């Protein structure tokens, strides 16, 4: 039985952890990472602890600062924990885990629908909803025959980017946050492309230059250029993140062909300057021109931006994805809060001119993205959900694993993102955020005092993830969550060298130094200390070989 979807840990691993002396949630997390991310699996882990006779089923959660070996004390509830997974989302994650276990071999059989429903302990209807939503993203293929065969699919970047963009839009990503994220990521992307300059990688840029960078559709030409730079970098993670941010930009800017045409000539000349710097191998110029282009593009947008908060949603969507986008814009336009009703089924069907079946499909996608959900009953309809990054982070991580993003490629993205997270957290830290960070440090030190050397421990992962959370930047939080999940699962599959007490102590000391700077409200010191910590991790990984300890932290 798969228990922790985030770390891909089943009940056998958790039972082995308990047998090895892990007698509470913190110890289990230190042993295998289970329970240290979204928190949805913690009740199941506690049940396994109780079953093994090492936990008191009546002990209150978090009742002791230093639990004894005979009492189970769950990790302190974190403010970022989302609601417990509903059956539909649990089945979605179970199917995704089976896809990963199959090694992403496209077309490989996972099973018949009836077999899968039995395996996951759900109804056939719940399974069909889960399979349908995964099919929309290319993760599985469902045969239309009566037997209902489900096979491994091939995820599409467009669908994954659309999901991530909708989450960031619904989470209230501002233009300033979008600009900052694109400056960081696309600057790093261009610099990496200039440093790599591998012949297959730069060919798209050569073709783009030879063609003059022109296209009948300026919007697609701009996207094609940025994806060409991502391909030149040799790091497929850049492509999906750039694709996502461009889609968020379009949600902010609306869809004006006239404005896109006005942007086209100026953007093309800026793109050409970036491409020439990349092809010539000038890393500094490539990064600088990329950042300058982002600044200039959004400066132009500020003078011509349409206020979409006053726009009516487009009528007659032709697909569930278009309807989801329209509903997300309506939620934004009306400033609806979690728990508020967007509209009844009849109202929404009439408003958008769609059939009830399409509305049902859109509600399923909204639930998958944790943007909204369907409520039944007399006051039923589509209801707004509190934005939760974990489902979308899981989806991004799944795609990154499919395209084979490795340790060095992950680190190339984590560095600019986590430096930005540390600085932003130092600027915006709140008392609740400071308390959450201190709690994570305490858990990390607690593991050390027990003489345990975590393989995937809660503190060793949560510190970085919580820094991204308290930064208050939805883009940074989503991307850091996704990259950390890929790192955790990669390490879990590949195994680790045994950690040493001195290595773990240095790790905890670095975390403490970064957190203290953040809590003190010193963004420059927070960024500098994070940079030193990441440099040490990179050097440690280099000394240990590919897939070393830097991937673990």
- Given a contact cutoff of 8 angstroms between Cβ atoms, the answer to whether 304 and 253 are in contact is no
Architecture of domain 406-552: Up-down Bundle (1.20)
Superfamily of domain 159-306: GntR ligand-binding domain-like (1.20.120.530)
Distances (CA, A) of 525 to 287, 373, 437: 24, 42, 16
Residue 31 confidence (pLDDT) above 80: no
Instruction: Using a pLDDT cut of 90, give the percent of the chain over it.
Output: 28
Q: Where in the chain is the domain with CATH 1.20.120.530?
A: 159-306, 406-552
Mean pLDDT score, 234-261: 75
For domain 1-77, which CATH number applies: 3.20.20.140, 1.25.40.80, 3.30.70.270, 1.10.10.1100?
A: 1.10.10.1100
Strand order in the sheet with 140-142: 109-112, 149-152, 140-142
Instruction: Give DSSP secondary structure letters for 413-458.
Output: HHHHHHHHHHHHHHHH--HHHHHHHHHHHHHHHHHHHTT---SS-H
Tens digit of each residue's pLDDT (9 = 90 or more) over 155-207:
888 889 989 998 998 888 988 999 999 999 999 999 998 887 654 556 666 66
pLDDT confidence of 421, banded at 50, 70, 90? very high
For domain 87-154, which CATH number applies: 2.60.120.10, 3.30.70.120, 1.20.210.10, 1.10.10.10?
A: 1.10.10.10
Return all residues near 500 (Cβ < 8 A) that are at least 6 apart.
453
Q: Where in the chain is the domain with CATH 1.10.10.1100?
A: 1-77
Best mean pLDDT range from 356-360, 406-410, 453-457, 502-506: 356-360
What tokens appear for 4 in the block? 């922790």
Sign of CA dihedral 157, 248, 84, 404: positive
Mean pLDDT score, 518-528: 97
- Given a contact cutoff of 8 angstroms between Cβ atoms, the answer to whether 271 and 321 are in contact is no
Residue 341: its H or E element: strand 341-343
CATH class of 310-389: mainly alpha
Q: Which residues pair with 318 in a beta bridge?
A: none
- Given a contact cutoff of 8 angstroms between Cβ atoms, the answer to whether 278 and 232 are in contact is yes
Residue 351: exposed, middle, or buried by beta-carbon count in 10 A (0-12, 13-18, 19+)?
A: middle
Confidence at residue 284, expressed as pLDDT on a 0 to 100 scale: 94
Q: Where in the chain is the domain with CATH 1.10.10.10?
A: 87-154, 310-389
Average pLDDT, the chain: 80
Whole-number Å distance between alpha carbons of 17 and 368: 31
Residue 72 confidence (pLDDT) above 90: no
Confidence at residue 2, expressed as pLDDT on a 0 to 100 scale: 72
Residue 342 confidence (pLDDT) above 60: yes
Confidence at residue 399, expressed as pLDDT on a 0 to 100 scale: 92
Mean pLDDT score, 64-92: 48
Coil/strand/helix, residue 371: coil
């Amino acid at each position: 039985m798969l228990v922790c979807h985030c770390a891909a840990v089943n009940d056998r691993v958790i039972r082995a952890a308990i047998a090895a002396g892990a007698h509470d949630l913190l110890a289990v997390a230190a042993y295998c990472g289970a329970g240290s991310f979204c928190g949805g699996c913690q009740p199941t882990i506690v049940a396994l602890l109780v079953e093994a006779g090492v936990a008191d089923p009546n002990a209150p959660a978090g009742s002791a600062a230093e639990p004894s070996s005979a009492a189970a004390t769950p990790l302190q509830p974190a403010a970022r924990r989302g609601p417990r997974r509903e059956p539909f989302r649990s089945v979605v994650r179970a199917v995704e885990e089976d896809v990963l276990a199959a090694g992403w071999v496209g077309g490989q059989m996972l099973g018949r629908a009836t077999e899968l429903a039995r395996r996951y302990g759900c109804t056939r209807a719940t399974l069909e909803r889960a399979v349908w939503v995964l099919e929309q993203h290319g993760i599985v293929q469902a045969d239309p025959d009566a037997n209902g065969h489900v096979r491994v699919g091939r995820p599409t970047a467009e669908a994954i980017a659309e999901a991530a963009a909708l989450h960031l839009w619904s989470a209230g990503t501002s233009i300033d946050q979008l600009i900052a994220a694109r400056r960081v990521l696309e600057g790093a992307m261009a610099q990496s492309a200039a440093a790599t300059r591998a012949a297959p990688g730069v060919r798209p840029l050569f073709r783009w230059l030879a063609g003059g960078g022109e296209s009948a559709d300026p919007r697609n030409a701009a996207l094609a250029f940025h994806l060409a730079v991502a391909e030149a970098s040799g790091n497929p993670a850049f492509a999906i993140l750039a694709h996502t941010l461009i889609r968020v930009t379009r949600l902010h800017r609306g869809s004006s062909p006239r404005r896109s045409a006005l942007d086209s000539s100026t953007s093309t000349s800026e793109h050409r300057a970036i491409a020439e710097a990349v092809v010539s191998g000038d890393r500094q110029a490539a990064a600088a021109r990329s950042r300058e282009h982002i600044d200039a593009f959004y400066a132009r947008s500020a003078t011509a931006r349409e206020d979409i908060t006053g726009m009516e949603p487009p009528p007659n969507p032709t697909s569930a994805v278009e309807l989801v986008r329209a509903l997300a814009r309506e939620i934004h336009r009306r400033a609806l809060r979690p728990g508020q009703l967007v509209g009844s089924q009849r109202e929404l069907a009439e408003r958008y001119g769609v059939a009830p079946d399409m509305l049902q499909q859109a509600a399923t996608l909204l639930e998958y993205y944790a943007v909204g959900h369907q409520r039944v009953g007399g006051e039923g309809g589509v209801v707004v959900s509190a934005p939760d990054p974990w489902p979308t982070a899981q989806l991004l991580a799944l795609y990154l694993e499919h395209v084979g993003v490795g340790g060095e490629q992950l680190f190339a993205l984590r560095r600019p993102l986590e430096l930005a997270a540390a600085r932003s957290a130092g600027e915006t830290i709140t008392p609740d955020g400071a308390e959450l960070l201190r709690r994570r440090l305490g858990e990390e030190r607690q593991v050390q005092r027990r003489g345990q050397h975590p393989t995937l421990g809660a503190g060793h992962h949560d510190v970085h993830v919580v820094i991204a959370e308290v930064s208050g930047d939805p883009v940074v939080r989503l991307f850091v969550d996704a990259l950390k999940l890929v790192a955790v699962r990669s390490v879990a599959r590949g195994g680790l060298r045994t950690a040493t007490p001195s290595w773990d102590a240095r790790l905890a000391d670095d975390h403490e130094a970064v957190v203290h700077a953040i809590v003190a409200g010193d963004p420059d010191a927070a960024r500098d200390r994070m940079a030193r910590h990441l440099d040490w991790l990179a050097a440690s990984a280099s000394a240990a070989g590919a897939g070393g300890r830097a991937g673990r932290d």
